[in-house]
Amino acid sequence: MNNYLKLEMYFTFQEGTQNYQKIVGGKIKLHPVRISNNITAEGIAQHALASDSINYSSNSYKPRINDVLYFLPGVSIPRVKIKNLALSHNIKTTRDIEKASHIFGHRRTYDKLVKQEYYYTLPVNLFKEYFNLLKKDIEIGETTGIDKKYIEDVDFALEHYDKERILFQWAERRELVNDSLSFLSTSKVNPVPVALHNDKAKVLHKEIKAALYSSRVDILNEDYYDLFENLSGKTVLYEESLLEHLNGKDAITLEREQFDQLSAMLQSSDEDNHVLAMEIMANCDYRSSLVYLLMVFEKYAHVFEAKRRAKYHVNFKSLLNYLNLGTSYMAVIIDDIMKKLIEKNALTEEWTDIIYKEYTEEIRERESTYFKCHTVTLNEEALKYLNINYKREAREDFIPEEREEVIEEEEEEVPSIMWLN
């Protein structure tokens, strides 16, 4: 995170002034803010990535006895399901990140920590010139009503500031480019001494307008300052690595039979059947059911999207989070199924065959990132003319590489029950 100064400024004016605006009150302050962007000398806020601020790991999570879990903002874990791990592994949750053995975040945790807004930026040296003209206007009594404490605080903040630009929003921009202000006015009828204005004001006004730049800035929410500091150097696991353990050892695995049953339920006109199908999916064993879960979404995402209440149930939202799907858009295509299986290190030859058999026609007719044509033949007319079974390889055979067999550790048995605090 980077520390910047944010300008807050407004003025009130004397009624009846013409050609220039005489300031009779207002406020000017510089607030410290923390942003995840780097702002270049030209004022461009470079795009910030969640991975630059949060140290995410794609490693899987394997529950162990006495683990202590901490959930970052955005994580949506049904508390009732955490009890399954509490009973089986003596696992607890904590609100103190320093006591956690594992930290879990959501893919949108970063969006919860920051507020994304468009800000203008201005070189500090130009703001200092602007501010000095304002101070001179106050000294000669032309500008009044600005608390002396504001001026002192701004001077102090600028003295210790090492960045090249300050931030502000539209209201402040309006005053910075307002050439009707008494200390910036270039009007010939401006009653303020010429020494303060004219050429100097004209040049400054042009320079300020030319140097302004607007960018989207990610400002850290003040409520999360301490949390962000404590996250430094810590590894964060994705929420879905925990979700696949929450339904317990008795959770069902979706096979072809269950897939067909769910399809029949979702094809019916009975809304209760739809909701029941969503409950079955949300309570199954995610990991072992993954291919069929994704195939259900490929066929019936539109049904789920139309469920204004059921799709927001905490159990179903946990399933959506595990699959990295949203409540408003759940569509999945064939390539998405393959991609998500690879991302979760779950793709097998058996599951690839299931996908191919289910979508054979679609795969033959459409371009796919994952399914590629290996052998080319001719249409029936050409084959009859040649009277041969014509086949040619479109790509070379893949030669599998040797891999070491990974032996998974056996799970520890919990000796006793520890209830959640």
pLDDT digits (tens, 9 = 90+) for 144-156: 888 999 999 999 9
Q: At which of 216, 246, 276 does a domain end?
A: 246
Q: Are residues 264 and 192 in the same domain?
A: no
Question: In this structure, is residue 407 part of a structural domain?
Answer: no
Q: Are residues 30 and 148 in the same domain?
A: yes
| pLDDT above 70 as % of the chain | 89
Question: In this structure, is residue 208 part of a structural domain?
Answer: yes
Residue 128: per-residue pLDDT: 93
Q: At which of 319, 336, 358 does a domain end?
A: 358
Q: Are residues 260 and 242 in the same domain?
A: no
Segment 251-276 shows an average pLDDT of: 94
Q: Are residues 125 and 23 in the same domain?
A: yes
Nearest C-alpha neighbor of 168 from the set 126, 129, 134, 212: 212
pTM of the predicted model over 0.85: no
Q: Are residues 215 and 74 in the same domain?
A: yes
Residue 39: per-residue pLDDT: 81
Asked if residue 406 has pLDDT above 80, the reply is no
Q: Are residues 273 and 213 in the same domain?
A: no
Question: In this structure, is residue 412 part of a structural domain?
Answer: no
Question: In this structure, is residue 185 part of a structural domain?
Answer: yes
Q: At which of 358, 391, 415 does a domain end?
A: 358
Greatest CA span in the chain, whole angstroms?
104
pLDDT band at 286 (very low <50, low <70, confident <90, very high): very high
Number of domains in the chain: 2
Query: Which distant-in-sequence residues (6+ apart) come within 8 Å of 260 by Cβ?
Result: none
Give me the chain's average pLDDT, please: 85
Segment 371-385 shows an average pLDDT of: 89
Q: Are residues 43 and 186 in the same domain?
A: yes
Nearest C-alpha neighbor of 34 from the set 231, 230, 218, 226: 218
Distance CA 82, CA 93 (A): 9
Nearest C-alpha neighbor of 26 from the set 6, 42, 7: 7
Question: In this structure, is residue 341 part of a structural domain?
Answer: yes
Cα angle value 20/26/28 (rounded, 5°)? 105
Residue 416: per-residue pLDDT: 43
Residue 182: per-residue pLDDT: 63
pLDDT tens track for 226-240: 898 888 889 999 998
Q: Which residue type occupies 170?
A: W
pLDDT tens track for 172-213: 998 888 877 766 655 544 444 444 455 677 788 888 888 888
Asked if residue 6 has pLDDT above 90, the reply is yes
Cα end-to-end distance, the chain, whole Å: 33
Residue 153: per-residue pLDDT: 94
Distance CA 372, CA 370 (A): 6
Distance CA 17, CA 229 (A): 50
Segment 120-127 shows an average pLDDT of: 92
Q: Are residues 53 and 164 in the same domain?
A: yes
Residue of 96 and 20 predicted with greater confidence: 96
Q: Are residues 185 and 130 in the same domain?
A: yes
Asked if residue 14 has pLDDT above 90, the reply is no
Yes or no: say if 8 and 27 are a contact pair by the CB < 8 Å rule.
Answer: yes
Structural domain boundaries, residue 295: 256-358
Residue of 201 and 291 predicted with greater confidence: 291
Q: Are residues 117 and 175 in the same domain?
A: yes
DSSP 45: B
Residue 142: per-residue pLDDT: 76
Residue of 288 and 197 predicted with greater confidence: 288
pLDDT tens track for 332-343: 999 999 999 999
Q: Are residues 105 and 213 in the same domain?
A: yes
Question: In this structure, is residue 376 part of a structural domain?
Answer: no
Q: Are residues 227 and 94 in the same domain?
A: yes
Question: In this structure, is residue 401 part of a structural domain?
Answer: no
| pLDDT above 90 as % of the chain | 42
